[in-house]
Amino acid sequence: MRTKTEEGETESQSPESQAGLLERVMLFYHKSLKGGQKSRQWLKRQGLDDDGLREQWALGSADGRLLKSLPTDGDGLVGHLRDLGILTPAGREYFQDCITLPVRDGDNGIVSLAGVPFHGDDRILSTSPTALWNAPAVRLYPELILATSLLDGLSLHHAGFPQTCAVVGAHLKPMDLALLHDAGVRRILLLGAQANGALLPEQLAAFSVRSHPLAAHELMTGKGLAELVAEVDRLLAVFAGKAGDGRMERVAEGFTVSFGRRRYEVLGVDKNARRLKVTLKTERSGRLHVDTLDLYHAKSRKTLLQDLSCFFEESPAVIDGDIVKLIRMGEEFDPGRGASGGAAPVVVMTEDERREAEAYGKAKNLTELILEDYRVCGLVGEESNILLCYLAAVSRKTAEPISVLVLSSSGAGKSALQEATLRLCPPEDVVKLTSLTGRALFYKGAGSLKHKILALEEEAGVKQASYAIRNLISAGELIIETTVKDLGSGRLTTMQNRVEGPTTVLITTTNPDVDPETKSRFFVTGVDESREQTRAILENQRRRRTWEGRSGRDERESVMRRHWNFQRLLKPLAVVNPFAEQLIYSDDRLQSRRDQPKYLNLINAVAFMRQMRKPVKSHNGREYVEVDEADLELANKLAEEILGQNLDDLNRVSRDLLAQLERMVEERITKQTDPEQGSKPRVEEITFTRRDIREYTGWPHARVYRYLKQLVDMELVLIHSGRNGWKYVYSLESAVSPDHLSTTLSAPFQS
């Protein structure tokens, strides 16, 4: 077959593939645009008459010349074009009066054509297997901008956002959704007048999507290209939760900052009057650039300028401006202040998230909501422990936070309680460690623990640091002076390092013999080890393996973010207790000197957590909230259970063992009692071995051995024989009454 060219000549054609025919039509339209005055003028009015843009996207013009160039000898080409949809059944061009664009699949192969009409909605061939323009970008960028019109998509590319795709129509096709999933796309910023429609958000439910009705093309033609760039940069920063343009955000080993679409991570800042040594890391389109250099060194800056200009495809003047800003920020940055030494990391909340968090904090049944959220996160029972740990976590933002030590048997669930609490706290406020050397805390950054939660998994792993932990809780700071060698003079001198508090400390342990000095700084509690609680935990473990249990992950994510935002909104208000002088605390024990402050701080923590329901008062310019009766009621309930249980120095597990031993002895006394003769053995005459205890309680040997030792040390259980090959035989001390723990211990206070 033969087809007319632009010059009116004809050339021989042969049957070809669909992709080949689409390619030829696309090239024909692209060539037509060069001489299409009407199309060029329209593009100019849209602010898109750019040579680079036309060539990059092979923009074309459908102005009717295709029909005039087709052969008239009936060789089948017209039929092929009708089959593709390029020609309508009536013989007209489908893209008449449109700017055309090729539509490619994820592997960059052409699969269709699309058109932007001078008037009306976007068009795409009915035979197209995809509705996604610029699909190859999906494989390059884990975070996409998805425009709801082709004109917006072109405008965003012209503004310098290569991660932009566009959807033609109201929905994506299965091929598009499969590509998004397979490419591992994490976040999608949906922009355009149709962004809040029903179809697209429903299709994209599996991704993290933020919608905004930004009409990119209208903003560009109305306010200019610079305004569009600034607005999209702002939306991307909000979506990613990153610092805004030019604002420093501290991270663990340095800081990050963004200038437009160029984001720098500056780590390992080492500076003095003669050097500013840093490790500079940046990423673009999946490529990574890392360099360690001295920013005060002119030759190093020159090399960096050349490298980054090529990397970002920006002019040297732009990159030189970035380097100057990085030098100034590096000079201002204080490495000793740690990840949180200065302002807290910038976390941007949407208005919906803020309203949700405020409504949560103002709820009348806040404590019930907290308990329910822990259940959603997988924890069952443990109501008092849950509230105590959550209050401790929240109290980190107060001047005198409370700390909690959870002492229970191995596998009882103490780590699960700690993990659930930490999951509900903002990640930037959590410092979790598995092990800790004796002086490690003394050398942390000055603000690295200030108003943070220090979570330690096992007391055994931090035993060397117990002195530092005690002082951090009591004094609210750590100060150490060490001898160092001055590199300039060579003389020995002293250097002081100060670590600021206050800090909430959460520790779990199985050791009942925790150092008493350390233990006295904590609320000591233990998890419920009863058979009923075990049954509830086992049922919950099985339920979480069902479809309903697995599908609850999205709900858990929502719960976590709500708590993060709620805690971020808590203001650092002082708490005043107008009932303080009316409270009475037992004065018959020296331990009360430490226990009463813990009790009073617990009351303050409750009031601080419920601050959104309280009027904020002011005195001498200092804002505060007051403790009310509801705060006292909750604090007294928790203190009665937690502090009341520790009056006899027994932990919860040892107390449970003693109660079971008393029941075992009582049962044996009942069996050995002779009603006829009126003989009844005394408590101290009933002996038992560790094997008897294991068989009666069902406890493993290690657990019996560990907690029986504490009962022996406190002379609640006596040893009759043992050592030197003799079997250990025990009895209860006669002074221990059978109902020693049958009643609830009362807290040593009155309100």
The structural domains of the chain, with segments of one domain joined by +, span 1-128, 249-333, 351-645, 652-732
**Spatial separation of the C-alpha atoms in residues 658 and 708, rounded to whole Å:** 8
Q: With pLDDT > 90 as the criterion, what percentage of the chain qualifies?
A: 25
- The gap between the terminal CA atoms of the chain, to the nearest Å, is 101
Q: What residues contact 322, with CB distance under 8 A and at least 6 apart?
A: 259, 262, 264, 308
Task: Report the topology of domain 652-732.
Answer: Arc Repressor Mutant, subunit A (1.10.10)
Burial status of residue 225 (CB atoms within 10 A of its CB: 0-12, 13-18, 19 or more): middle
Higher pLDDT, 592 or 195: 592
Which pLDDT band, with edges at 50, 70 and 90, does 649 fall under? low
Which pLDDT band, with edges at 50, 70 and 90, does 591 fall under? confident
Task: Average the pLDDT over 343-359 and give the result.
Answer: 76
- Average pLDDT, whole number, for the chain? 82
Higher pLDDT, 75 or 39: 39
Sole residue written with tokens 């960059």: 108
pTM more than 0.85: no
DSSP 321-358: HHHHHHHHHHHH--GGGGGGSSSPPP-PPPHHHHHHHH
Which pLDDT band, with edges at 50, 70 and 90, does 739 fall under? very low
3-state secondary structure at position 715: coil
Q: Does the pLDDT value for residue 639 go beyond 60?
A: yes
Please report the pLDDT score of residue 748 as a whole number. Answer: 56
pLDDT tens-digit series, residues 396-435: 999 999 999 988 877 778 888 998 899 999 988 888 887 7
The answer to whether residues 534 and 515 touch, using CB atoms and an 8 Å cutoff, is no
Higher pLDDT, 297 or 548: 297
Q: Does the pLDDT value for residue 2 go beyond 50?
A: no
Please report the pLDDT score of residue 558 as a whole number. Answer: 87
Taking phi first (over 0 means left), then psi (-120 to 50 degrees means alpha), and beta for anything else, what does residue 338 get? left
Q: What residues contact 419, with CB distance under 8 A and at least 6 apart?
A: none
Which pLDDT band, with edges at 50, 70 and 90, does 182 fall under? confident
pLDDT tens-digit series, residues 82-124: 888 899 888 889 999 999 999 998 888 899 999 999 988 899 9
Q: Does the pLDDT value for residue 194 go beyond 80?
A: no
Task: Average the pLDDT over 479-487 and give the result.
Answer: 75
**Spatial separation of the C-alpha atoms in residues 88 and 125, rounded to whole Å:** 10
Higher pLDDT, 450 or 533: 450
Task: Average the pLDDT over 606-635 and give the result.
Answer: 92
Q: What residues contact 700, with CB distance under 8 A and at least 6 apart?
A: 694
In 3D space, the residue among 366, 429, 405 whose CA is nearest the CA of residue 607 turns out to be 366
Strand partners, 259: 262
In 3D space, the residue among 737, 666, 661 whose CA is nearest the CA of residue 696 turns out to be 661
Higher pLDDT, 567 or 316: 567
The answer to whether residues 502 and 476 touch, using CB atoms and an 8 Å cutoff, is yes
**Spatial separation of the C-alpha atoms in residues 85 and 607, rounded to whole Å:** 69
- Mode of pairing for the β-strands spanning 687-688 and 726-732: antiparallel
Residue 178's CB is within 10 A of a number of other CB atoms, namely 12
Task: Average the pLDDT over 124-132 and give the result.
Answer: 90
Which pLDDT band, with edges at 50, 70 and 90, does 199 fall under? low
Dihedrals phi, psi of 610, to nearest 5 degrees: -95, 20
Please report the pLDDT score of residue 670 as a whole number. Answer: 86
pLDDT tens-digit series, residues 688-705: 988 998 888 888 888 888
Which CATH class for the 351-645 domain?
alpha beta
Cα dihedral sign, 52-58-60-65 = positive
Task: Kindly compute the dihedral angle of the four CA atoms of residues 404, 410, 411, 416, in this order, to the nearest 10 degrees.
Answer: 20
User: Rounded to whole angstroms, what are the CA distances from 360 to 35, 65, 376, 387?
Assistant: 63, 64, 16, 16
Do 652-732 and 351-645 have the same topology in CATH?
Answer: no
Please report the pLDDT score of residue 1 as a whole number. Answer: 35
Please report the pLDDT score of residue 242 as a whole number. Answer: 47
Please report the pLDDT score of residue 347 as a whole number. Answer: 63
pLDDT tens-digit series, residues 201-236: 677 877 778 888 888 888 888 888 878 887 887 787
Token couple for 744:
């609830």
Higher pLDDT, 484 or 623: 623
**Spatial separation of the C-alpha atoms in residues 307 and 313, rounded to whole Å:** 10
Residue 131's CB is within 10 A of a number of other CB atoms, namely 21
**Span of 54-58, 162-166, 634-638, 745-749 with lowest mean pLDDT:** 745-749
In 3D space, the residue among 378, 456, 380, 457 whose CA is nearest the CA of residue 424 turns out to be 378
Q: Does the pLDDT value for residue 338 go beyond 60?
A: no
Cα dihedral sign, 241-244-250-253 = positive
Please report the pLDDT score of residue 592 as a whole number. Answer: 77
pLDDT tens-digit series, residues 253-310: 788 887 766 788 898 888 877 888 999 999 876 678 889 999 999 999 999 999 998 8
Q: With pLDDT > 70 as the criterion, what percentage of the chain qualifies?
A: 86
In 3D space, the residue among 336, 598, 604, 609 whose CA is nearest the CA of residue 474 turns out to be 598
The answer to whether residues 296 and 274 touch, using CB atoms and an 8 Å cutoff, is yes
Of 88-92, 381-385, 386-390, 437-441, which one has max mean pLDDT? 386-390
The answer to whether residues 616 and 624 touch, using CB atoms and an 8 Å cutoff, is yes
Higher pLDDT, 475 or 410: 475
Q: Is the bond preceding residue 129 a cis peptide, omega within 30 degrees? A: no
Please report the pLDDT score of residue 602 as a whole number. Answer: 93
**Spatial separation of the C-alpha atoms in residues 602 and 642, rounded to whole Å:** 11
Instruction: Indicate the residue type of 491.
Output: R
Task: Average the pLDDT over 597-613 and give the result.
Answer: 93
**Spatial separation of the C-alpha atoms in residues 137 and 246, rounded to whole Å:** 27
Which pLDDT band, with edges at 50, 70 and 90, does 6 fall under? very low
The answer to whether residues 295 and 276 touch, using CB atoms and an 8 Å cutoff, is yes
**Span of 11-15, 27-31, 368-372, 671-675 with lowest mean pLDDT:** 11-15
- Long-range (24+ apart) CB contacts under 8 A made by 382-385 are 382/413, 382/417, 382/527, 382/528, 382/533, 384/525, 384/637, 384/638, 384/641, 384/642, 385/417, 385/525, 385/527, 385/528
**Spatial separation of the C-alpha atoms in residues 733 and 719, rounded to whole Å:** 10
Task: Average the pLDDT over 364-374 and give the result.
Answer: 92
Task: Report the topology of domain 1-128.
Answer: DNA primase DNAg catalytic core, N-terminal domain (3.90.980)
- Mode of pairing for the β-strands spanning 617-619 and 622-626: antiparallel
